[in-house]
Amino acid sequence: MVKNISVIENILSANDRIAAENRAVFDSAGVIAYNFMASPGAGKTSLIEQTVRRLASIHKLAVIDGDIATSLDADRARAAGALALQINTGGECHLDAVMLQAALKQLDLSGIDLVIVENVGNLVCPASFKLGTHKSVLIASIPEGDDKPYKYPGMYRGVDALVINKIDLLPYVTFDMAYFRKGVEILNPGLVTFPLSCQTGEGLETWISWIGAQTRKK
Amino acid sequence: MHELPVTESILEIALRHARQANATRITHLYLVVGQLASIVDDSVQFYWDIVSKDTIAEGAQLHFERQPATLACLDCRHEYSPGGDGFACPNCHGERVKVVSGDEFFMQAIDIES
């Protein structure tokens, strides 16, 4: 007998279910969690180092680092003063909720106020996989070019804050800030942005006070 | 986007629903894909032939129904489908828009034999 049966199920529902479980883990521990996404080399790890250094006297931070290989990023976060854990995705170009769930099992959140998840450097895939973090932050950088919002709309549309890193390079590279910002505004109207330089420290204070203000001390 | 895990997910969902219906074979899968969901049909099809092998879904046909995107202009509230000139509102030419639909990606139904 041939039958048509109704399914109506989201293809990524399995991931979304685990993401909701991860969110519950963060919530019950009283932790705020961020998903940092960016292309390779935009400065995710540098921003994490700066954030950890500047917040470490007030807040306890944990960093979960996703990379295809090596523990270089987790080592840098640890050296800056965070509790750090490396997830090697073994080739996968994004983190998903299942990988984060496995990492969370190895992490004692009881003393932690803030968790930063550093996603794999990629402007495409990470946008499609929810992790269960509270807020997503995209780190763009000047040398990438001003056309990135237009080329990666899925990523720019889904984030809660945008850091524009390496503004110290503005005098040396062609980057039309008005064109860039127009693309961002189309995709994500009113998005909060932080132009800064992890190299010179310019603009970092505003970013630190934003992320600090969202964090509750235990 | 990420077609291999996506295709595995498609198989898992189809097999689960087929089992519940005591199916002996899955012959067709009907998927709804929003215009803004970054899914490449050909790539899913490529992986499908591999992952469905030796299951009751082997040889089943995938059908992709593309759903057009709907945008809403935040200035004049007009709702429209994005056209050739990008995302700007055709009514007031405003560029502050919100995506109303077009991100969806779900399995609508399957055809089974039992």
What letter represents residue A217's amino acid? Answer: K
pTM higher than 0.90: no
Name the residue in chain B with its Cα closest to that of A152.
B38
Percent of chain B with pLDDT over 70: 96
Which residue in A5, A14, A154 is closest to B110 by CB distance? A5
Which residue in B17, B106, B112 is closest to A11 by CB distance? B106
With 0-12 CB in 10 A as exposed, 13-18 as middle and 19+ as buried, what is B41?
A: middle
Domain A13-210: CATH architecture, name and number where available: 3-Layer(aba) Sandwich (3.40)
* Residue numbers in chain A where pLDDT is lower than 70: none
Q: Tell me the three state secondary structure of residue B89.
A: coil
Q: What is the pLDDT of residue B1?
A: 56
The shortest C-alpha distance from A4 to chain B (Å) reads: 4
The count of CB pairs under 8 A between chains A and B is 87
Q: Are strands A61-67 and A114-118 parallel, antiparallel or unpaired?
A: parallel
* Interface mutation target, options A1, A2, A4, A5, chain B, most CBs of B under 10 Å: A5
Distance CA B85, CA B93 (A): 11
The shortest C-alpha distance from B53 to chain A (Å) reads: 20
Q: What is the pLDDT of residue B84?
A: 63
The domain segmentation of chain A, as residue ranges, is: 13-210
Whether residue B109 and residue A94 make contact (CB cut-off 8 A), yes or no, is no
- What's CA A186's distance to the chain center, in Å? 21
Asked if B68 reaches chain A (Cβ–Cβ under 8 Å), the answer is no
Q: Positive or negative, the Cα torsion across B53, B56, B61, B62?
A: negative
Distance CA A92, CA A125 (A): 10
Neighbours of B68 (CB within 10 A): 11
More confident residue, B36 or B113: B113
Domains of chain B, each with CATH number or no CATH: 3-67+102-113 (3.30.2320.50)
Whether residue B96 and residue A189 make contact (CB cut-off 8 A), yes or no, is yes
Q: What is the pLDDT of residue B76?
A: 94
Residues in chain B with CB shorter than 8 Å from the CB of A93 are 2
pLDDT tens digit string along B42-94?
Answer: 999 999 999 999 999 999 999 999 999 898 998 999 999 887 656 788 899 88
Q: What is the pLDDT of residue A216?
A: 82
Q: Residue A203: which of A211, A190, A194 has the closest Cα?
A: A194
Q: What is the pLDDT of residue B85?
A: 59
Question: Mean pLDDT across chain B, nearest whole number?
Answer: 91
Q: What is the pLDDT of residue A80?
A: 92
Residues in chain A with CB shorter than 8 Å from the CB of B38 are 124, 128, 154
Q: What is the pLDDT of residue A14?
A: 82
Q: What is the pLDDT of residue A24?
A: 98
Asked if B74 reaches chain A (Cβ–Cβ under 8 Å), the answer is yes
Whether residue B87 and residue A9 make contact (CB cut-off 8 A), yes or no, is no
In this prediction the ipTM stands at 0.79
